[in-house]
Structure 1
């Protein structure tokens, strides 16, 4: 009896790609998970530590980092699925998708913290 692999929406299509590409895709997925943990830690630290940052800007930036930290794993999963399926079907790799929004959010959060330190 053959084993089915999860998710079937990925592994039920195409042919098995070169393992190096699959493993690279998995490493990218795990890097996004680490990024998510760092964003959540930044949000918690902003609120938990007595930092000399204007309170409203500190709260907004903490919430922004927490929100990005929650969205990053969803982005990681969707990207992994899209890329793995493209590899299996020998299609061109998809674009980065949500990465630009996450990058913009980190920039905005960093600017809020910087301005909060100066105010």
Structure 2
């Protein structure tokens, strides 16, 4: 069985419509996706460290709050990253402007809140 689409409608279904973008842009989009996944993995590692490895003089509530916040942020990034990748790929194929992404703002706000919680946990018992 051939993997070549049998008609234009089959090709549109496989590519999301439009034409194949320059492979460099497709690979750049993939690298961006992988960078978001690495960020999510780093956040999970931070959550494990806060919850189980780093000897902190925090109460259980502070430790749990920071660990769960890091984990929640990792989950949000992990769910949103492939959706963003698909939206960008589809826009490139259709020759449209790239869609704006809320992911950088979500990550910035989340990491800022975690940093504030860490400072509060360290300096205000």
TM bucket by the smaller chain? 0.7 to 0.9
Gaps of 5+ in 1: none
Q: Which residue of 1 aligns with 2:110?
A: 105
CA contact (8 A) 1:53 1:113 kept: no
The reply on whether 1:21 has 2:25 as its aligned counterpart is: yes
Partners of 2:41 and 2:18 in 1: how far apart?
A: 33
TM-score normalised to structure 1 length: 0.88
Q: Which residue of 2 aligns with 1:47?
A: 51
Gaps of 5+ in 2: 6-11
Task: List structure 1 segments (4+ residues) > 3 angstroms apart after TM superposition.
Answer: none
Alignment of 1:37-116 (within 5 A): 37-49=41-53, 50-116=55-121
What's the C-alpha RMSD, in Å, of the aligned pairs? Answer: 1.8
Larger Rg: 2
The alignment partner of 1:57 has SS state of: helix
Distance apart, 1:12 and its partner CA = 3.4
Deviations 1:58-104 (A, max 9, x none): 21111000011111111110110010000000000000123312220
Distance apart, 1:9 and its partner CA = 6.3
Q: Report how many aligned residue pairs link the two structures.
A: 116
CA contact (8 A) 1:40 1:66 kept: yes
